[in-house]
């Protein structure tokens, strides 16, 4: 997962483990659990990302957060287009064609003052990454 950092000296927090949570966290919580986690943090100076992005075994994803929900979708989708075009060198028309037919969205949060949406694209449509 890549997270944009907008402030010098920013800190990182990892928490709020859920054993299960309904899509969208509509009640403001999931089934809270403690976590034992190992992770590594590295800094990529001057990485040009505006919203979180990441890779899972079967898909890549970007995340947007805003209100109204369509603005969160737009942030996540724009970041996906930027990633595929700028970082992976894909043609803009090809990216829009693939996303128009193959993108999936997850409603990650509707409880907070802003909505969080994830834009996901299966790796089967992205040879080489």
Listed by start position, the domains of the chain span: 18-125
Q: Rounded CA gap, 91 and 88, in Å?
A: 9
Q: What is the pLDDT of residue 28?
A: 80
Hey, which CATH number is domain 18-125, 3.40.225.10, 1.20.1430.10, 3.40.630.190, 3.10.28.20? 3.10.28.20
The predicted model gives 39-67 an average pLDDT of: 91
Q: Are 125 and 80 in contact (CB under 8 A)?
A: no
- What's the per-residue H, E or C state across 44-81? CCCCCCCCCEEECCCEEEEEEEECCHHHHHHHHHHHHH
- The whole model's pTM is what? 0.87
pLDDT tens for 9-51 read 889 888 888 899 888 888 887 898 999 989 888 888 877 899 9
């Amino acid at each position: 997962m890549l997270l944009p950092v907008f402030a010098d000296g920013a800190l990182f927090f990892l928490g709020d483990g859920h054993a299960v949570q309904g899509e969208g966290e509509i009640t403001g919580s999931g089934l809270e659990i403690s976590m034992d986690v190992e992770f590594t943090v590295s800094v990529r100076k001057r990485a040009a990302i505006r919203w979180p992005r990441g890779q899972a075994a079967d898909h890549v994803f970007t995340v947007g957060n805003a209100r109204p929900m369509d603005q969160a979708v737009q942030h996540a989708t724009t970041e996906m287009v930027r990633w595929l075009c700028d970082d992976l060198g894909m043609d803009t028309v090809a990216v829009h064609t693939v996303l128009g037919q193959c993108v999936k969205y997850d409603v990650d949060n509707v409880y907070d003052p802003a909505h969080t949406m994830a834009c996901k694209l299966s790796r089967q449509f992205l040879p080489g990454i």
